[in-house]
């Protein structure tokens, strides 16, 4: 072998890196650069630029691109073929190095800001110590959520516990981080603590009614979020505190008004005259645990994540909040027997190239007619007409049909009231992204096609002819809004059960919606039907009625017949 050959091989070796090989493998597996970017947690331009730089370093084309797809060239396929072995070798080396440096499998480090210590980290560490004393668990304090996540990314912590605030109806896409997996832990409501003499209907109050009070708040606190929404400047007599315990102590002594998570009131006796209200719109604080994908399978990290996911904060003694939680718990208990834990490896990804229409809606329409006939017969004193006495089909258009139900309903929206009758009626008025036919197979509904580029990503292409009953078109924004409402335990306790594994719902194209899970779930695909949690409604209709849908004054808006 001559000297030039040695130099060329050495140069090619230096041009390669594990990250580049993982990108090529992702493109090969998903069939497009955009899908590869989603699976790796990067933007499409980032992946495109990385591939272009690698091609320039190697002096060879690696990917052939078309308008909607991408495939590897023979050179790219060769590199992708070697990638798994190279990746496995480096992982083995890192494991041995970790042992040498003292990073044992029974060690776990949890990073979080001070706000998360009392409600999440401390109970988790205590439970780990009691249940699995062989695990060496420690805490690393971070200044905020971003700092906690950075500690995990830099290898200085194994799990980041973060707390984020969300206002009902104002969801934003969750930023995905490369190589990290997030697990939703729990959500709790933000409550107002005040001595203000204000009548709050139904146990909830609009924070705007408290704007003239002295506010007790700190940087990044619920009070800061509400002040920003209300465009309320910091008043001269407002009090700045660094933690919720201080805010509650001051509010208990009638110094001012504060907004804290429910758990901040655990074990606190409030004196007469100090009131606690829920907020409208509801504000929730969501707790999330994030770890590197590779670290999530380390025994100690896996145990810590399991303990974190089992935590539930103490609820506030506010009847409207307790009632919503009771309905959610009742729904979960009703369906818990059908919930199945699936192994990490799921069945091969499903992909539907079938265009709409399908047999799904025909089957659904038949079922609706049959159900209506049975209900009418059951509520009538007359016997059901026989085949010989049935009226002939005149061909006339029926303007309306009245069906007597064997029970009363307080709300047609399944998220608020999840009885069997609610499901029947909502399934008539609304559709999901997919439908389930008589054989239990998944068929198109509002999505004309869909794909699953990896174990945790589902991409849905919407029909361009779908219309709501008011004549407005169904958009990707409507789908994202509807599914995010279904995720909210406050507004949709009857549906949130199905969505606990969802990390994000994003509009990724004019007619494209991408859903990312925190972990593989073989049951998820069917949950995107009206048999699960996908009851797609109009965001404009929801907003016009301030979220009070499914009532006598504002029924349901959907795309059903």
Give the Å distances, CA to CA, from 372 to 381, 395, 421. Answer: 16, 19, 12
Round to whole Å and give the CA distance between 501 and 86: 32
Query: Do 448 and 332 reside in the same domain of the chain?
Result: yes
Number of domains in the chain: 3
Q: Which of 35-39, 154-158, 346-350, 554-558 has the lowest mean pLDDT?
A: 346-350
The answer to whether residue 347 sits within a structural domain is yes
> Stretch 14-38: mean pLDDT, rounded?
85
Residue position matching structure tokens 């805010």: 247
Residue position matching structure tokens 């047999």: 359
CATH of the domain at 46: 1.10.10.10
Count of residues making up the chain: 561
Round to whole Å and give the CA distance between 314 and 312: 7
547 contacts 491 by C-beta, under 8 angstroms: yes
Three-state DSSP class for residue 300: helix
434 contacts 447 by C-beta, under 8 angstroms: yes
Residue position matching structure tokens 């704007």: 211
Round to whole Å and give the CA distance between 96 and 88: 12
The answer to whether residue 111 sits within a structural domain is yes
Query: Do 305 and 358 reside in the same domain of the chain?
Result: no
Q: Is the dihedral of CA 498, 502, 506, 512 positive or negative?
A: negative
- The beta strand positions in 243-317, using DSSP E, are 257-261, 275-279, 283-292
Which pLDDT score is estimated for 406?
67
Q: Measured in whole angstroms, how far is the alpha carbon of residue 229 from the centre of its chain?
A: 23
Query: Do 173 and 191 reside in the same domain of the chain?
Result: yes
Strand 239-240 and strand 215-217: pairing? parallel
Which pLDDT score is estimated for 541?
92
Round to whole Å and give the CA distance between 490 and 478: 19
Which pLDDT score is estimated for 335?
39
Helices 420-429 and 359-378: crossing angle, nearest 10°? 130
The answer to whether residue 394 sits within a structural domain is no
Query: Do 322 and 232 reside in the same domain of the chain?
Result: no
Query: Do 250 and 368 reside in the same domain of the chain?
Result: no
Q: Which of 65, 62, 27, 17 is nearest to 47 (CA)?
A: 27
Give the Å distances, CA to CA, from 285 to 34, 78, 140, 191, 337. Answer: 32, 48, 21, 11, 29
Round to whole Å and give the CA distance between 104 and 93: 14
Rg of the chain's alpha carbons, rounded to an integer? Answer: 27
Among the ranges 366-375, 492-501, 507-516, which has the highest mean pLDDT value? 507-516
Which pLDDT score is estimated for 103?
53
The answer to whether residue 430 sits within a structural domain is yes
CATH of the domain at 148: 3.40.190.290
Which pLDDT score is estimated for 561?
65
Strand 180-194 and strand 275-279: pairing? antiparallel
Residue 176 has pLDDT above 60, yes or no: no
258 pairs with which residues across the strands? 193, 216
Structural domain containing residue 116: 107-316
Which pLDDT score is estimated for 167?
82
Residue 457 has pLDDT above 70, yes or no: yes
Query: Do 342 and 227 reside in the same domain of the chain?
Result: no
Round to whole Å and give the CA distance between 486 and 479: 11
pLDDT in tens, 231-273: 888 888 899 998 888 999 999 999 999 999 988 888 788 888 8
Round to whole Å and give the CA distance between 226 and 516: 29
Query: Do 28 and 167 reside in the same domain of the chain?
Result: no
Give the chain's end-to-end CA distance (angstroms, integer). Answer: 75
Domain C-terminal end among 70, 100, 130: 100
The answer to whether residue 476 sits within a structural domain is yes
Round to whole Å and give the CA distance between 275 and 288: 29
DSSP secondary structure code for residue 297 in this structure: G
Query: Do 225 and 353 reside in the same domain of the chain?
Result: no
Residue 153 has pLDDT above 60, yes or no: yes
Round to whole Å and give the CA distance between 47 and 20: 9
> Stretch 182-203: mean pLDDT, rounded?
83
Compare 138 and 518 and report the one with higher pLDDT: 138
> Predicted confidence band at 370 (pLDDT cuts at 50, 70, 90)?
very low
The token duo for 113 is 């800001």
Domain C-terminal end among 316, 333, 351: 316
Query: Do 303 and 337 reside in the same domain of the chain?
Result: no
> Predicted confidence band at 385 (pLDDT cuts at 50, 70, 90)?
very low
Compare 167 and 459 and report the one with higher pLDDT: 459
Q: Which of 50-54, 114-118, 187-191, 381-385 has the lowest mean pLDDT?
A: 381-385
Q: Which of 55-59, 269-273, 373-377, 532-536 has the lowest mean pLDDT?
A: 373-377
290 pairs with which residues across the strands? 160, 182
Q: Which of 21-30, 361-370, 529-538 has the lowest mean pLDDT?
A: 361-370
Round to whole Å and give the CA distance between 202 and 506: 33
Compare 231 and 376 and report the one with higher pLDDT: 231
Which pLDDT score is estimated for 346?
39
Query: Do 84 and 132 reside in the same domain of the chain?
Result: no
The answer to whether residue 393 sits within a structural domain is no
Query: Do 179 and 142 reside in the same domain of the chain?
Result: yes
Query: Do 119 and 30 reside in the same domain of the chain?
Result: no
148 pairs with which residues across the strands? none
Q: Is the dihedral of CA 154, 159, 160, 164 positive or negative?
A: positive
Residue 109 has pLDDT above 50, yes or no: yes
pLDDT in tens, 308-363: 988 877 766 666 566 555 544 444 444 343 333 333 333 334 444 333 333 343 34
Compare 35 and 434 and report the one with higher pLDDT: 434
Three-state DSSP class for residue 436: strand
Which pLDDT score is estimated for 110?
96
79 contacts 33 by C-beta, under 8 angstroms: no
Domain C-terminal end among 296, 316, 336: 316
Q: Which of 100-104, 459-463, 546-550 has the lowest mean pLDDT?
A: 100-104
The answer to whether residue 552 sits within a structural domain is yes
The answer to whether residue 217 sits within a structural domain is yes
């Amino acid at each position: 072998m001559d000297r030039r050959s040695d130099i060329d091989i050495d140069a090619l070796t230096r041009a390669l890196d594990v990250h580049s090989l993982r990108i090529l493998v992702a493109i090969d597996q998903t069939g497009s650069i955009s899908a590869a970017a989603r699976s790796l947690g990067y933007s499409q331009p980032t992946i495109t630029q990385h591939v272009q730089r690698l091609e320039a370093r190697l002096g060879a084309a690696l990917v052939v691109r078309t308008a909607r797809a991408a495939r590897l060239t023979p050179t790219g396929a060769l590199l992708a073929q070697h990638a798994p072995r190279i990746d496995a070798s480096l992982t083995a080396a890192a494991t041995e190095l970790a042992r040498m440096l003292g990073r044992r499998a029974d060690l776990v480090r949890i990073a979080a800001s001070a706000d998360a210590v009392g409600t999440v980290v401390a109970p988790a560490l205590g439970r780990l110590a009691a249940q699995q004393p062989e695990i060496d668990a420690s805490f690393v304090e971070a200044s905020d959520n971003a700092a906690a996540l950075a500690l995990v990314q830099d290898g200085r912590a194994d799990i980041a516990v973060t707390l984020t605030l969300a206002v009902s109806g104002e969801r934003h896409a969750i930023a995905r981080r490369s190589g990290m997996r997030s697990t939703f832990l729990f959500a709790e409501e933000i409550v107002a603590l005040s001595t203000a003499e204000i009548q709050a209907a139904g146990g909830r109050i609009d924070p705007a009614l408290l704007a003239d009070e002295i506010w007790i708040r700190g940087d990044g606190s619920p009070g800061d979020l509400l002040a920003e929404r209300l465009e309320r400047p910091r008043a001269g007599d407002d009090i700045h505190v660094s933690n919720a315990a201080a805010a509650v102590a001051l509010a208990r002594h009638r110094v001012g008004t504060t907004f804290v998570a429910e758990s901040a009131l655990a074990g606190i006796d409030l004196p007469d005259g100090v009131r606690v209200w829920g907020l409208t719109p509801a504000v929730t604080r969501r707790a999330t645990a994030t770890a590197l994908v590779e670290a999530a399978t380390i025994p100690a990290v896996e145990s810590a994540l399991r303990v974190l996911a089992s935590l539930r904060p103490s609820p506030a003694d506010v009847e409207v909040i307790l009632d919503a939680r009771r309905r959610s718990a009742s729904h979960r208990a009703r369906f818990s027997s059908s919930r199945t834990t699936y192994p990490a490896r799921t069945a091969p990804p499903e992909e539907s190239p079938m265009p709409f229409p399908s047999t799904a809606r025909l089957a659904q329409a038949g079922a609706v007619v049959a159900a209506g006939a049975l209900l009418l017969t059951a509520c009538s004193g007359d016997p059901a007409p026989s085949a010989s006495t049935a009226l002939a089909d005149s061909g006339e258009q029926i303007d309306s049909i009245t069906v007597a139900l064997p029970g009363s309903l307080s709300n047609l929206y399944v998220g608020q009231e999840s009885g069997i009758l609610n499901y029947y009626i909502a399934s008539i008025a609304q559709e999901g992204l997919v439908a389930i036919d008589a054989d239990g197979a998944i068929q198109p509904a509002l999505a004309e096609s869909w794909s699953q580029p990896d174990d945790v990503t589902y991409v849905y292409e919407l029909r361009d002819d779908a219309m709501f009953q008011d004549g407005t078109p169904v958009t990707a924004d409507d789908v994202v809004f509807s599914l995010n409402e279904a995720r909210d335990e406050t507004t949709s306790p009857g549906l949130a059960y199905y969505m606990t594994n969802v990390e994000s719902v994003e509009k990724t194209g004019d007619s494209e919606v991408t859903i990312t899970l925190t972990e593989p779930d073989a049951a998820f695909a069917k949950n995107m039907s009206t048999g699960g949690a996908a009851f797609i409604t109009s965001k404009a209709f929801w907003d016009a009625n301030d979220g009070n849908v499914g009532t006598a004054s504002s029924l349901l808006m959907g795309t059903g017949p």
